[in-house]
Amino acid sequence: MVPIDFPIIKKKAKQSTELDSSWNVVVFDDPVNLMEYVSKVLQKVFGYSKAKAEDLMMTVHGTGKALVWSGARERAELYVQQLHQYQLQASLEKAE
Amino acid sequence: MRLMPTLEGGMRIEIETPTDWLVLEQIAPDALDGGNDRLPQRLGALMDEQSDWEGVVIPELKSFFTGQISCVVEGVKRGQEAVDLGKEEASGEVFITKEDADNWYGALNQARLALEARYKFGQSEEIEDLEEFGDDKRSAFVRNRFYSALQGVLLEYVID
């Protein structure tokens, strides 16, 4: 049997305090993404109802940004990555 | 140029003039303006170092966005191969299947984001006078409006 060398994926170890604390996923307004599109993306990524997604989209449009999800950091990072795939400006903020 | 739904749930772009082809050909160059890594970098600009965005996510996004542009380039090329572009009336058609609709939408969005980053149009409904724009910016603005209109149709009739 030939031994298989699995690739070693180097990833920075996250401090437990960061993993334990809550993080916010924030979506920012921009002049390009269509309002209906933003609403559809929020439904697809988070499974929100159309009403909730439209409400959040209107907050983004009206105030410049909206907190769309809160929770564990790794899950929040995954959501931000998905939002970036849909070309929405999004980021993480540590919850206060 | 006319847009029509297909029985399979996609969309057919009916090309009526050579200019229509030029407009569709311009989507990819607009999206790639300044390099195709600019959009992933801009999207990830607010992420902290802890996220490994630079090393892990940005290369993936770059590859994903490149795939969207390739889909559009190939779609337009397929349409052009079916007609004789040397003829004065270069009519033809480009099909956007339901499966490809997300890629088309994404490529159009990339083009609009790149145009916005370059020309800073802002909210387009607030722009009333195009005369103050130079030729380049005015042309880019018109393309931006066309891309937006095409996105609107895809959202309304094709994308679930």
pLDDT tens for chain B, 160 residues long, are 999 999 999 999 999 988 999 999 999 999 998 777 789 999 999 898 888 898 999 999 999 999 999 999 999 999 998 886 666 566 899 999 999 999 999 999 999 999 999 998 887 666 767 777 788 899 999 999 999 999 999 999 999 8
**Neighboring chain A residues of B123 at a CB cutoff of 8 Å:** 31
Encode pLDDT of A28-50 as tens digits.
Answer: 999 999 999 999 999 999 999 99
**Which pLDDT belongs to residue B125?**
63
Q: Is the Cβ of A58 closer than 8 Å to some Cβ of chain B?
A: no
CB atoms within 10 A of CB B111: 28
Q: Is the Cβ of A74 closer than 8 Å to some Cβ of chain B?
A: no
Q: Check pLDDT > 60 for residue A83.
A: yes
**Neighboring chain A residues of B46 at a CB cutoff of 8 Å:** 89, 91
Smallest Cβ–Cβ distance between B43 and the set A14, A18, A87 belongs to: A87
Q: Could you tell me the domains of chain A?
A: 21-94 (3.30.1390.10)
**Which pLDDT belongs to residue B85?**
61
**Which pLDDT belongs to residue A9?**
45
Q: Given CA atoms B45, B46, B47, B48 in this order, what sign does their dihedral have?
A: positive
The phi and psi torsions of A45 (rounded to 5 degrees) equal -75, -45
Element (H, E) at B61: helix B58-81
Q: What percent of chain A has pLDDT over 90?
A: 77
Cβ atoms of residues B131 and B18 within 8 Å: no
Q: Check pLDDT > 50 for residue A7.
A: no
CA end-to-end distance (rounded Å), chain A? 54
**Chain B nearest-CA residue for A37:** B155
